[in-house]
Amino acid sequence: MISVASFCLLAVVLALAVWLAIALLELIVRAVLTVGMAFSFAIAIGIFSSSDADSGVACGILAFGLALAPCFYVVSRVRAAQSARKTKQSQAGSSRSRVSLPNEYVEPVSTFAEKALSKAWDEAMRLAPCEELAVAREACAQFMAVSEKEGSCDLNLIGFSVFVRRHVPELVKETGELLELVEKSERVTAIERLTADLITVGKGARDRLDAISQRLRDKLAARRQRVASELGNGWEPFQSNP
């Protein structure tokens, strides 16, 4: 019977053998690429160095020998960079698949029905990708969806939705036009002001959504109280916002 120590030792030996095989395969690949690059370089030197065939062959052989080390260095650097890039992409993919923490940027779940608003917020997120702006975008998208529902006669909602449609796309557009003309220091200031303005718009949308939610809570609490009084059951109203 194989003991635990023997099994662990066998696993270590197999892992080491696999690692050595992969390393050897990588070394062979680099060697083949190095020879191919050096051979191409040698042929080019042989062709253009001399019109005499013998001297051209000699120059080519000499160039091949001298080019082996530099070519191996170049091939090794390129292969290492490719490996690092694949590793980074793999880590980025795995991190995106994890559950987002509260302080991480979260992709918005609501969308805009109007292309102009959607394009404006996407451009703003490209200029200043931050969590605060993502939260503002989400609040604005939710508010616009509520304001566009049938039967909405709230003048406050209608007025703010018209304000958002009129000013947000133009605000982003005019900021983008300014960024193309000014220096870096002023570009930073312009993006900061755009971000602050859009965050304020998002807060305005969130305040109106909270007011709607509170009215719905109160309405539902009254209905539940009516149902409870009719049926003789106890009930617990929703907690109101402070």
Q: Dump pLDDT digits (tens) for 229-242.
A: 888 755 555 555 44
Residue 241 inside a domain? The answer is: no
* Whether residue 226 sits in one domain with residue 141: yes
* Whether residue 146 sits in one domain with residue 64: no
- Binned at pLDDT 50, 70 and 90, residue 83 comes out as confident
**What 3-state class would DSSP assign to 22?**
helix
Closest among 82, 80, 137, 65 to 105, alpha carbons compared: 137
Report the chain's terminal Cα–Cα distance, integer Å.
Answer: 70
The pair phi, psi for residue 196, each rounded to 5°, is -65, -40
Residue 95 inside a domain? The answer is: no
pLDDT tens string 183-229: 888 989 999 999 999 999 999 999 989 988 998 899 999 999 888 88
* Whether residue 29 sits in one domain with residue 73: yes
Predicted confidence at residue 203, as pLDDT, reads: 93
Residue 126 inside a domain? The answer is: yes
Predicted confidence at residue 192, as pLDDT, reads: 92
Q: Is residue 105 within 8 Å of residue 130, measured between CB atoms?
A: yes
Higher pLDDT, 202 or 92: 202
Higher pLDDT, 27 or 125: 125
* Whether residue 78 sits in one domain with residue 183: no
Higher pLDDT, 104 or 83: 83
Q: Which two tokens stand for residue 135?
A: 């939260």
* Whether residue 121 sits in one domain with residue 58: no
Whether the pTM exceeds 0.75: the reply is: no
Residue 193 inside a domain? The answer is: yes
Residue 175 inside a domain? The answer is: yes
pLDDT tens string 117-127: 888 899 999 98
Residue 55 inside a domain? The answer is: yes
**Residue where the block lists tokens 């939705």:** 161
Residue 107 inside a domain? The answer is: no
* Whether residue 161 sits in one domain with residue 213: yes
* Whether residue 133 sits in one domain with residue 29: no
Residue 99 inside a domain? The answer is: no
- Strands of the chain, DSSP E: none
Higher pLDDT, 172 or 109: 172
Predicted confidence at residue 172, as pLDDT, reads: 92
Range of the domain at 78: 4-83
* Whether residue 135 sits in one domain with residue 63: no
Predicted confidence at residue 135, as pLDDT, reads: 92
Predicted confidence at residue 74, as pLDDT, reads: 75
Domain count, the chain: 2
Higher pLDDT, 58 or 140: 140
CA dist 227 and 39 (Å) reads 90
CA dist 76 and 81 (Å) reads 9
